[in-house]
Amino acid sequence: MPIKTHEFPRSHRLSGKNDFAAVYAADAKQSRGPLAIYSKPNAFSHYRWGLSVSRRVGSAVRRNRAKRMLRECIRLLHRDFPAAYDVVIVVRPHQPMTLAQYQKNLAALIERGHNHWSAIPRTMT
């Protein structure tokens, strides 16, 4: 049985309207090129991801390709990301990009999101 090294299990996904609404309500948005991310720290030891690709991006083929590319970026990069956050990736209309371009944009956005949350002092509860 082969060992899976790049998993994207269900426990690492945001699901449901309440999860997405909580991330949007944290109001921590970063954008770069055709990608925008909303993030907020979570209580888990890992990231949880959600993708939002509207019909404005294009046909179902283009939307699904963008989602596949972003899922692959997450699988390849998730071990390099600092801390644990809930992240919603929003895709805007754009020309198709390569996997490397998506990786570069996503890595930069995650780093900026982490810097945003690191600058905010946490209160003890």
CATH assignment at residue 20: 3.30.230.10
Question: Is 18 within the bounds of a domain?
Answer: yes
**Spans of the chain below 50 pLDDT:** 124-125
Question: Is 74 within the bounds of a domain?
Answer: yes
Q: What is the pLDDT of residue 46?
A: 83
Q: What is the pLDDT of residue 79?
A: 79
Range of the domain at 27: 13-117
Question: Is 125 within the bounds of a domain?
Answer: no
Q: What is the pLDDT of residue 5?
A: 57
Q: Which two tokens stand for residue 86?
A: 């809930």
Provide the number of structural domains found in the chain. 1
Q: Which two tokens stand for residue 121?
A: 């002092």
d(CA 27, CA 88): 11
- CA-to-CA dists, residue 97 to 14, 32, 41, 65, angstroms: 25, 13, 29, 10
